Amino acid sequence: MLFKTLSKPEFRNLVDLLLGSTEVIAPKQIGVNNDGKPLHHYLPVQEFEEIDLEYEITEYSAKSYFLPFRENLSSCRFEDDDWTQEIHYRLQPRVLMGLHSCDINALLKLDKVLAGDRFPSPYFISRRRNTFIIGIDHYPCEGGFCQSVGADVVTHGFDLYLTDLGDRYFVAINSDHGYNVLMQVDAKDTTGQDNKDYLEARQRIASKFEPLNMHNLPNLMDIEFESEVWKRWGKKCLSCGSCTMVCPTCYCYGVDERVSMDGREGAKVKQLYSCNLLDFAAVAGGHNFRADRETRLKYRYYHQHRGFMETYEEPLCVGCNRCGRVCLAGINPPEIIRDLQTEDQV
């Protein structure tokens, strides 16, 4: 991997170049919460001043730009004895700026499922290939545990990655496209002092994380499959699905086929879904394999920390704790995992 340094004024020049040539999506403050803390979303921006790279976390992840909540997979029209079909993929390039390591790692996990060899999604792949990603290092967000799941560092899945060194950025270059874009401004070769400052900055960031004990979690979850922990937390669950809507890695969906009343037009529409909703495991005949709230909650955690681990040798969860922040019932992964770890001691 190549490294350069970029002064803050030159970084602004880089952003201005990008703004003048393509769509730029970046963290933007949209308001404050009840405690007065700023709220951010990844949104299209028109000016450099709209971008806030010092944000703590966005309410929604970058997933929404690759897996939209609802999308039209295809549409068709019937005329006489013939029919035509239209399928659209994203071809317009864009820049997604300011992603933290957890959100980039989330996209890499989605790549394994949606851009792999078995069932690749051309809709997802077209968005990935046409998105230029600029990431940035950050201090831990409140309640986050990305270090404990190995998502606090990222080595690929981006074009440029920034680490703030005060008066300049230390820039990791991970693609030819990233290198060519960076060469449009006055990027400097790194010096020994730059490398030292970068390593010290990374050590400061790493020291701020509070570790969460994830040791042997997949096996522990199998052992505690019938644990009372699931019942205690399941009783709180509202089955609203908010957790999966903000999760950067949940990808379950349903597909509806819609036909107009006159039978001349039709569409196949994909919509993200939640394994916490009552009818997620409902089948014909009125049967439901996961009728209880605690069962649905348990299987969501099993997918995140057991099933995905078995298939891809890493957890699906990236430790952002967005699900914990949005849950109206106060359910969050760190507390559930701690309860499982201490179950035998209760």
131-136/94-99 β-pairing: parallel
Could you tell me the two tokens for 234?
């399941």
Return the pLDDT at 35. Answer: 86
pTM: 0.93
**pLDDT tens, position by position, for the chain (346 residues)?**
899 999 999 999 999 999 999 999 999 999 998 888 999 999 999 999 999 999 999 999 999 999 999 999 999 999 888 999 999 988 899 999 999 999 999 999 999 999 987 889 999 999 999 999 999 999 999 999 999 999 999 999 999 999 999 999 999 999 999 999 999 999 999 999 999 999 999 999 999 999 999 989 999 999 999 999 999 999 999 999 999 999 999 999 999 999 999 989 999 999 999 999 999 999 999 899 999 999 999 999 999 999 999 999 999 999 999 999 999 999 999 999 999 998 755 4
Helices and strands in the chain: count of H runs, count of E runs: 12, 14
Give the largest Cα separation in the chain, rounded. 73
Judged by DSSP in three states, 147 sits in helix
Return the pLDDT at 116. Answer: 87
Return the pLDDT at 344. Answer: 57
Q: What are phi and psi of 341, to 5 degrees?
A: -65, -30
257: amino acid identity, one letter? E
Q: Measured between alpha carbons, how far apart are the two ends of the chain, in Å?
A: 48
**CB neighbour list of residue 236: distance below 8 Å, 6 or more residues apart:** 329, 330, 331
* Euclidean distance between CA atoms 181 and 144, whole angstroms: 32
Return the pLDDT at 118. Answer: 82
Return the pLDDT at 346. Answer: 45
